[in-house]
Amino acid sequence: MSSTFLGMPATPPRSPYGTGNLRGDRKFPKAAHDELRNEQLRRNLGRATRTIRAKRLAVTAELPDWEALRDAGSAIKTETMNRLPELLEQLERNVTERGGTVHWARDGVEANEIVTRLVKATGSSDVIKVKSMATQEIGLNEHLESAGITPYETDLAELIVQLAHDKPSHILVPAIHRNRDEIRQIFLKEIPGVDPRLDNVPAHLAAAARAYLREKFMTTKVAVSGANFGIAETGTLAVVESEGNGRMCLTMPDTLITVMGIEKVLPRYQDLEVFLQLLPRSSTGERMNPYTSMWTGVTPGDGPQDFHLVLLDNGRTAALADRIGREALNCIRCSACLNVCPVYERAGGHAYGSTYPGPIGAVLTPQLAGMHAAKNDPNSSLPYASSLCGACFDACPVKIDIPSLLVELRHQNTEQSGATAEKLAMKAAATVMRHPKFFTAAQKGAGIGRVIGGRDGTISHLPPPFEGWSASRDTAVPPKQTFRSWLASDEGTATMRAAADEHAKNRKTTEEEK
Amino acid sequence: MTTARATVLGRIRDALALAPAPDTAVPRAYRTGRTLPDDARLALFTDRLVDYKATVHTCTADRTAQVVAEVLRERGARRIGVPAGLDPRWLDAYDGEVQQDSGDIPAPRLDALDGVLTASAVSCAETGTIFLDGSPDQGRRALSLVPDLHVCVVDLSTVEAGVPEAVARLVPQRPTTLISGPSATSDIELERVEGVHGPRTLAVVIRTDV
């Protein structure tokens, strides 16, 4: 047992600043501003999210017990977080008993080092990879490359992203921002020996990827995967996928290295009966995904004979220490919240700057990596990348209350921001509104706004510290005079008197009609 | 020096001490223990498989060899692999070459086969899912993965109504593969394409009287 447990509990650290892919290089509004100009991106995204929304609704409506499954899924994840230490120790014990080796990583840097060391020990200079959010989060590919090891992404969308030297923009379909013509161009340019007559038919593009990767699957000795679930009770790991690239990576090589976030553990094998219904229907909108692989340690004569499980913290314990925010750890990475989000649908995944985009990314990223790790931390803008419409909450298969988490993060951001201009302005406004004389003077002062308003009567750029407000909306100029000064004028008095006369006349007419 | 293991476990305990959460019982009000009559399970399972673009062939146990031979012939499979524990009588009517699998055959060599014939452990009607668990009549995982055609024999008595009923029949420690139709991707403009890295053709032979 750790000595820290016996003393005062310390707040666990976030993912170290400057490592991995949990922070963009600019704030959301600025990044979104540029992405919104990309009409191709918006067309691709709009079409894709519409399609998948319809599919999800159809297959979730099919199950009369969908809400009961969500309740169970939510409760199982809550139970998991409460019992996390014992469940991880149980998982470790069972994986080890079945011939696997378990490693622990405090952060992404340590996980990258462990994986690199394990790959080097095999003597292989190549690894094949199953799509994995955790390894994307820690920047494993970049680290492997710097150590002279070539990672080959084998999921079609991840392959497209890797070949285009691009970044993923969606949890489930990382190349959703690309259309078939763009993908054809990428393949023609980047796949060695591809048929130059390759057209843009998705089936033909998929066939080109199959031909390219087939040889890698047959010859590469090491694979790296993530895990959708790790069962504490049995030591079983599960990878949910569609293409068969997962099965290839989990079956063909001699060595398998799985990187799993510590929150992915589930208490019981039986719990799979819930998540194997929730995940595919929420994620791809299918009754079941084409392939799911489950393995427990090493099976003699079947699959990799050398198996390593790397358990990753990287800020997860910091999220767990937040009474409200910890709920984000319940996420099963289905991406349903992205597909229903009006902000994601327009801005796209890159604007969030993190491996985790969309509504869940806006709550998970600041919790894993912090919001104030740097001056003007881009992550501090993420809780505001939402209209709080609540569609994400309704879509979430484990009922994460994302809007409430966003509001809590906004609160934390304001608290941590110190003496901001906004805080000072609010304080000043409170004083002014308590004193009628100040209030009248302030209203007179607002008349200056008419000068910067120009002819169209709107202000599109407010001076600091109010530029944040005017960056995303126009401000109407203040009227010529305040209501109170108008009421006191001759015109005001005459208008009020006329209105009173009119009212008296109407009342008289109504009474006569009776 | 503190190990990463001790540090991470210590952090988790600290986190739980800082933000304790109430214990929750897991409500399992969803459907479990469902049963359906044979004809309803067969109809539902068939409907789902066809939806995934798998081909479905229904027969009685005494016609297994004939149906298997027909399916393999239709697909032009001249050389197939079988797991060591497969019932040899299923191949009585097949006139192609049969390679019995063994651990001595390197997995990449399975690429030279036209197809593979296996049994199955359990299936789920509602989702059209077949579960393979590495039993002797199903073989190692590579065998049902590398060849481009998978002919899978399913006995109706092993087809359960829903996911909970099917999961309850699994042996957790066995390497288990869930198969719902042929390999597929929707990565390009969310348009479904059948056949990427796994077998591009899945043919299911359902035996209705066993």
Say if A29 is an interface residue toward chain B (CB within 8 Å): no
Q: Is A189 exposed, middle or buried (0-12, 13-18, 19+ CB in 10 A)?
A: exposed
More confident residue, A416 or B27: B27
Domain holding B89, by residue range, is 35-207
In a domain, A114, yes or no: yes
Does residue A485 lie within any of the structural domains?
A: no
Answer yes or no: is B130 within a domain. yes
Q: What is the pLDDT of residue A455?
A: 66
ipTM field: 0.97
Q: Which residue has the higher pLDDT, B37 or A472?
A: B37
Q: Which of B29, B52, B193 shows the shortest C-beta gap to A206?
A: B193
> Is residue B14, in this structure, part of any structural domain at all?
no
Q: Average model confidence (pLDDT) for chain A?
A: 92
Last residue of a domain, one of A302, A319, A336: A319
Residues in chain A with CB shorter than 8 Å from the CB of B124 are 288
Please tell me the predicted confidence (pLDDT) of residue A394. 97
A329: closest CA among A363, A279, A352? Answer: A363
Query: Has residue A140 got a pLDDT over 90?
Result: yes
- The share of chain A scoring above pLDDT 90, in percent, equals 76
Nearest to B14 among A4, A72, A79 (CB): A4
- Say yes or no: A105 and A237 in one domain: yes
Query: Residues A114, A259: one domain?
Result: yes
Number of domains in chain A: 2
**Angle at which helices A421-434 and A436-445 cross, to 10°:** 120
Q: Is the dihedral of CA B17, B23, B28, B30 positive or negative?
A: negative
> Is the CB of A190 inside 8 Å of chain B's CB atoms?
no
> Rg of chain A over CA atoms, in angstroms?
28
What are B130's strand-pairing partners? B123, B179
Cβ(B126)–Cβ(A287) below 8 Å: yes
B78-90 pLDDT, tens digit per residue, is 999 999 999 999 9
Assigned token pair, A48: 């894709």
Last residue of a domain, one of A319, A344, A369: A319
pLDDT of residue A4: 47
Pairing of strands B184-185, B193-194: antiparallel
Greater confidence (A5 vs A484) lies with A484
A212 is written with which tokens? 């390219």
Contacting residues of B for A268, CB less than 8 Å apart: none
CB contact under 8 A, A10 and B14: yes
Bridge partners (DSSP) of residue B204 are: B56, B152
Same domain, A122 and A236: yes
Domain assignment present for residue B184? The answer is: yes
Rounded Cα gap, residues A169 and A90, in angstroms: 35
Q: Range of A454's domain?
A: 421-480
Residues 203-242 on A with a CB inside 8 Å of B are 203, 205-207, 209-210, 213-214, 217-219, 231, 233-234, 236, 242
A55 Cβ contact partners less than 8 Å away, ≥ 6 residues apart: A284, A285, A286
In a domain, A411, yes or no: no
What pLDDT score does A433 carry?
Answer: 82
A461-472 mean pLDDT: 68
Pick A248's closest partner by Cβ from B21, B103, B197: B197
pLDDT confidence of residue A465: 65
Give me chain B's average pLDDT, please: 96
Q: Which residues pair with B110 in a beta bridge?
A: none
Taking only residues 251 to 270 of chain A, the set having a beta carbon closer than 8 angstroms to any beta carbon of chain B reads 251-252, 262, 269-270
Size of interface A-B (CB pairs under 8 A): 282
Which residues in chain B are closer than 8 Å to A291, comparing Cβ atoms?
177-180, 183, 198
- The pairing of beta strand A255-261 with beta strand A458-459: unpaired
Q: Residues A244, A206: contact at Cβ < 8 Å? A: no
Closest CA to A20 of A315, A228, A333: A315
What pLDDT is attached to residue A441? 77
The β-bridge relationship of strands B201-207 and B149-155 is parallel
| Angstrom distance (rounded) from CA B140 to CA B153 | 16
Q: In what order do the strands lie in the sheet with A126-129?
A: A101-105, A306-312, A255-261, A222-225, A126-129, A150-153
> Considering CB atoms only, which of B14, B52, B172 is closest to A5?
B14
What is residue A374's DSSP assignment?
Answer: S
Question: How much is the pLDDT for A1?
Answer: 44
Residues of A in contact with B190 (CB under 8 A): 47-48, 51-52, 173, 176
Q: Which chain A residue shows the shortest CA-CA distance from B193?
A: A203
Q: Are the CB atoms for B197 and A243 separated by under 8 Å? A: yes
Rounded CA-CA distance B133/B172 in Å is 9
Contact A174, A161 (CB under 8 A): yes
Per the structure, the count of domains in chain B is 1
Identify the closest residue of chain A to B19 by CA–CA distance. Answer: A323
Integer Cα distance of A406 and B98 in angstroms: 60
pLDDT in tens, B27-38: 999 999 999 999
Residue A473 pLDDT: 73
The pLDDT assigned to A506 comes to 85
The predicted-structure confidence for B117-132, as pLDDT tens digits, reads as follows: 999 999 999 999 999 9
Residue from B70, B61, B54, B145 nearest B101 by CA: B145
Query: In chain A, which residue's Cα lies nearest the Cα of B102?
Result: A301
A408 neighbourhood in chain B, CB within 8 Å: none
Three-class SS state of A265: strand
Question: Which residues does A373 contact at the CB level (< 8 Å), separation at least 6?
Answer: A14, A17, A23, A379
pLDDT at A470 over 90: no
> What's the rounded mean pLDDT across residues A441-446?
73
B75 occurs within a structural domain: yes
Identity of residue B194? E
Contact A72 B124 (CB under 8 A): no
CB contact at 8 A, B148 and B199: yes
Residue A274: is its pLDDT beyond 70?
Answer: yes
Mean pLDDT to the nearest integer, A92-107: 98
Instruction: Flag whether pLDDT at A6 surpasses 70.
Output: no
- pLDDT of res. A488: 87
Task: Note the pTM of the prediction, 2 decimals.
Answer: 0.90
Closest CA to A16 of A263, A312, A314: A314
pLDDT band at A41 (very low <50, low <70, confident <90, very high): confident
Asked if the structure places residue A392 within a domain, the reply is no
Q: Is A36 left (phi over 0), alpha (psi -120 to 50) or beta?
A: alpha
With respect to residue B7, please indicate whether it lies within any of the assigned structural domains: no
Asked which of A322-331, A427-436, A465-474 is least confident by mean pLDDT, the reply is A465-474
- The CA-CA-CA angle for residues A60, A65, A67, to 5°, reads 75
The pLDDT of residue A152: 97
- What is the average per-residue pLDDT within B186-195? 86
For residue B191, the chain A residue with the least C-alpha distance is A202
Residue A311's closest CA among A113, A111, A453, A142?
A111
What's the pLDDT at A504? 87
Whether residue A299 is found in the same domain as residue A443: no
- Over the stretch A338-392, which tens digit does the pLDDT of each residue have? 999 999 999 999 999 999 999 999 999 999 999 998 889 999 999 999 999 999 9
| Cβ–Cβ gap B24/A78 under 8 Å | yes
Task: Identify whether the C-beta of residue B202 lies closer than 8 Å to the C-beta of residue B150.
Answer: yes
Q: Are residues A218 and A91 in the same domain?
A: yes
pLDDT of residue B194: 86
- Residue A180 is predicted with a pLDDT of 93
Cβ <8 Å between A48 and B176? no
- Residue A436 falls inside a structural domain: yes
At residue B161, does pLDDT exceed 80?
A: yes
For CA atoms A401, A407, A410, A416, give the dihedral sign.
negative
Q: Is residue A311 domain-shared with residue A425, that is, in the same domain?
A: no
Tell me which chain B residue has its CA closest to the CA of residue A213. Answer: B197
pLDDT-based confidence at A56, cuts 50/70/90? very high
Question: For residues B185 and A31, what is the distance between their CA atoms, to the nearest angstrom?
Answer: 30
Q: What is the mean pLDDT of residues B155-163?
A: 98
pLDDT classification of B23: cutoffs 50, 70, 90: confident
Q: What is the pLDDT of residue A3?
A: 46
What is the domain-level CATH number for residue B136?
3.40.50.10420
Question: Which chain A residues touch B196 with a CB distance below 8 Å?
Answer: 156, 206, 209-210, 242-245
Residue A33 lies in a domain: yes
Residue B201: closest CA among B65, B72, B98: B72
User: Do A290 and B52 contact (CB within 8 A), yes or no?
Assistant: yes
**Residue A133 domain-assigned (yes or no):** yes
Q: Indicate the range of A477-486, B44-53, B118-127 predicted with least confidence.
A: A477-486
DSSP state of A460: S
In a domain, B119, yes or no: yes
Cβ–Cβ of B5/A104 closer than 8 Å? yes
Say which DSSP state A299 is in: B
pLDDT of residue A2: 44
Instruction: Give the model's pLDDT for residue A429.
Output: 81
pLDDT of residue A454: 63
A257 pLDDT exceeds 80?
Answer: yes
Q: Using pLDDT thresholds of 50, 70 and 90, give the confidence band for residue A128.
A: very high
Cβ-defined contact of A251 to B188 (cutoff 8 Å): no
- When pLDDT is cut at 50, 70 and 90, the band that residue A303 belongs to is very high
**A328 interfacial to chain B (CB closer than 8 Å):** no
